[in-house]
Amino acid sequence: GAGVSQSPSNKVTEKGKDVELRCDPISGHTALYWYRQSLGQGLEFLIYFQGNSAPDKSGLPSDRFSAERTGGSVSTLTIQRTQQEDSAVYLCASSPGTSGGPRQETQYFGPGTRLLVL
């Protein structure tokens, strides 16, 4: 496919369990972003990858959240010991990257993973 894909599309889990969310960016895009969108809220920046490295982890809400990216492509966001307040839509976006200058920063979003923690 040509767009950003995310899996699963929906995830229901019990409080205290770990979850993994996956993002497949557009082929060739070097920058990848994770956001969280809670009901009625704006997008909350979580983490940004340039290639496989994450120069900015300041948005991760707690040490229960971690993310990695391998091969400059697929990224996984892991939430350990989930809490009810983690329920939200987790959105991934990719962009061509900064090497081309500001005009490469347009982000293309995936459909999101809807996480519900019971």
Partner 1 sequence: EDQVTQSPEALRLQEGESSSLNCSYTVSGLRGLFWYRQDPGKGPEFLFTLYSAGEEKEKERLKATLTKKESFLHITAPKPEDSATYLCAVFQTGNQFYFGTGTSLTVIP
Interface residues with partner 1 (CB under 8 A)? 4, 31, 33, 35, 40-43, 45, 48, 50, 55-56, 91, 93, 98, 102-103, 105-112
Nearer to partner 1, 80 or 108 (CB): 108
In angstroms, give the least distance from the CB of 47 to partner 1. 11
Q: ∠ CA 101-26-105 to the nearest 5 degrees?
A: 20
* DSSP helix, strand, coil percent of the chain (3-state; round to 5): 10, 50, 45
Nearer to partner 1, 64 or 108 (CB): 108
